[in-house]
Structure 1
Amino acid sequence: MGDAIKLHALLGGTFEPIHYGHLQPAEALAAKVGLQKVTLMPNNVPPHRPQPEATPAQRVEMVRLAIAGNPLFELDMREMQRSTPSYTLETLEELRAERGPRQPLAFIIGQDSLLTIHKWHRWQELLSFCHLLVCQRPGYRSEMETPELQRWRDEHLTRDALLLQQTPAGKVFLAETPLVDISATEIRTRRHQDKSSSDLLPPAVSDYIDREGLYRNPLPRDMLRR
């Protein structure tokens, strides 16, 4: 059995760029609940969202640089390789089929995502495929939007990390992880304003952004119209 019964977790995102707000809570979560592996899954952006400034290849390379030498993390490219919008539920279906029915799987989200989980594609099925590991986020309320959603959360809630290891899916775990108040938007804004963001992301990622000339000052509006 060996590796088949160890808890693995998934962390998806645009990662534009990847930063300490992604990495540090995941590392704290791993220590708290006994995660053996955290799989980072960069995703393509659905058509209704702004396209990233960095190319897909640049976003992937930033993830590679951020996790180099850290055995906790691995990279999964499946969502990046899709030409259609990626839905978390469909990715979880694929992973469950690959890893079998007994493998404990978890999906890492922030408190903000839990509060809007009912807007996700086929959200009612998520816990059939994984646990949800919820990281605290600064400034977000703890109560769900409606009594029905609160009951759903409470029915699946556990504070027993061992239970996450012993069951393949079905639980919501609220994690007291570090409150790392960093956003990729803040990093890009700092860069556009020619301010340093090196305190917010790994040095290798910061150096890569400099080398690639990413997130430079935007062109003046009259230049954009030409």
Structure 2
Amino acid sequence: MRVVYGGTFDPIHHGHLRLAIELRERLGVPAVSLVPSHIPPHRGAPGATSADRLALLHRAVADEPGLVVDDRELSRGGASYTADTLRQLRRELGAQEPLVMVLGSDAFAGFESWRDWQAIAGLAHVVVIPRPGGELEPQSVPARLLETSPARTLDALWAAPAGGFIWLELPLLDISATAIREHLQQGRSPRYLLPDAVLAEIRERGLYGVHPACPRNTN
């Protein structure tokens, strides 16, 4: 089974990382792939470039073999449409291997506005993680997809390559990338909201309004 967890990761923080670890353990897979988007079609431009966000991701998972970075959306260029990513993965995996896409309920609430959303069930299972402010309207398309899903348990995901929609509650850390960016722009410390290695990289690169760190004197 391949499990992919996409997002802007702007910047990657402990909330993202802990959720990915929880997913790996609950789904019983050796690794979860973090897929940073290049140009997100449903939100404003990220605060850092794709290359910078990718570098932060690599720093974040350097010591965690259970989390891997998949940069296919950055390499593909253009707007990052989920259906295109899943088609590419399905070609690589073949027709029978289960493929799981993970997203928050806030993103899933607008699922029917995604490009080619009807094709996604034929490409992957969808695991929805409830998030504050991400409640679904009872008669909405996303709610009906969950209610009528042929796979309603995690074990059922292994029985088919795609097609299931599952609501999965996991422990969440109340950390916001928006709040981290605001901390940095205001000169406040975001330490312990994200890995120290990521914070060091942000300072070295001068991201999110931080003045670049001075080069070290190695003489």
Task: Give the TM-score of the pair, scaled to structure 2.
Answer: 0.88
**Counterpart-to-counterpart distance in 2, 1:42 and 1:148:** 26
Equivalent pairs: percent with the same residue? Answer: 38
- 2:38 corresponding residue in structure 1: 44
- 1:202 corresponding residue in structure 2: 195
Distance 1:23 1:178, change over 3 A: same
Alpha-carbon distance, 1:24 to partner: 0.9
The secondary structure found in structure 1 opposite 2:72 is coil
Distance 1:103 1:18, change over 3 A: same
Distance 1:145 1:217, change over 3 A: farther
Distance 1:90 1:47, change over 3 A: closer
Q: Which 4+ runs in 1 deviate beyond 4 A?
A: 46-49
1:9 to 3, 14, 19: 3
2:170 to 164, 174, 177: 177
- 1:155 corresponding residue in structure 2: 148
2:159 to 162, 166, 179: 166
Task: Give the TM-score of the pair, scaled to structure 1.
Answer: 0.85
The secondary structure found in structure 2 opposite 1:128 is coil
Distance 1:80 1:145, change over 3 A: farther
Contact 2:103 2:127 (C-alpha < 8 Å) held by counterparts: yes
Alpha-carbon distance, 1:146 to partner: 3.0
Contact 1:106 1:131 (C-alpha < 8 Å) held by counterparts: yes
Alpha-carbon distance, 1:163 to partner: 1.1
Number of residue pairs matched by the alignment = 211
Q: Deviations over 1:12-56 (max 9, x none)?
A: 112111111211112112211212221111111257854333222
Contact 2:108 2:128 (C-alpha < 8 Å) held by counterparts: yes
**Counterpart-to-counterpart distance in 2, 1:125 and 1:72:** 29
Matched to 1:29, the amino acid is L
1:31 to 3, 25, 31: 25
2:84 matches 1:90: yes
1:134 to 121, 124, 128: 128
Q: Deviations over 1:104-160 (max 9, x none)?
A: 11001001112111111111111111111111212332x336355432221116442
Matched to 2:196, the amino acid is P
**Counterpart-to-counterpart distance in 1, 2:80 and 2:119:** 16
Distance 1:74 1:93, change over 3 A: same
> Mean alpha-carbon deviation: is it higher for 209-218 or for 45-54?
45-54
Structure 1: 5+ residue stretches without partners: 1-6, 219-226
Q: Deviations over 1:152-200 (max 9, x none)?
A: 2211164421111221111112111112222211110111111111121
Matched to 1:204, the amino acid is A
- 1:68 corresponding residue in structure 2: 62
Bigger proportion of residues as helix:
1
Matched to 1:195, the amino acid is R
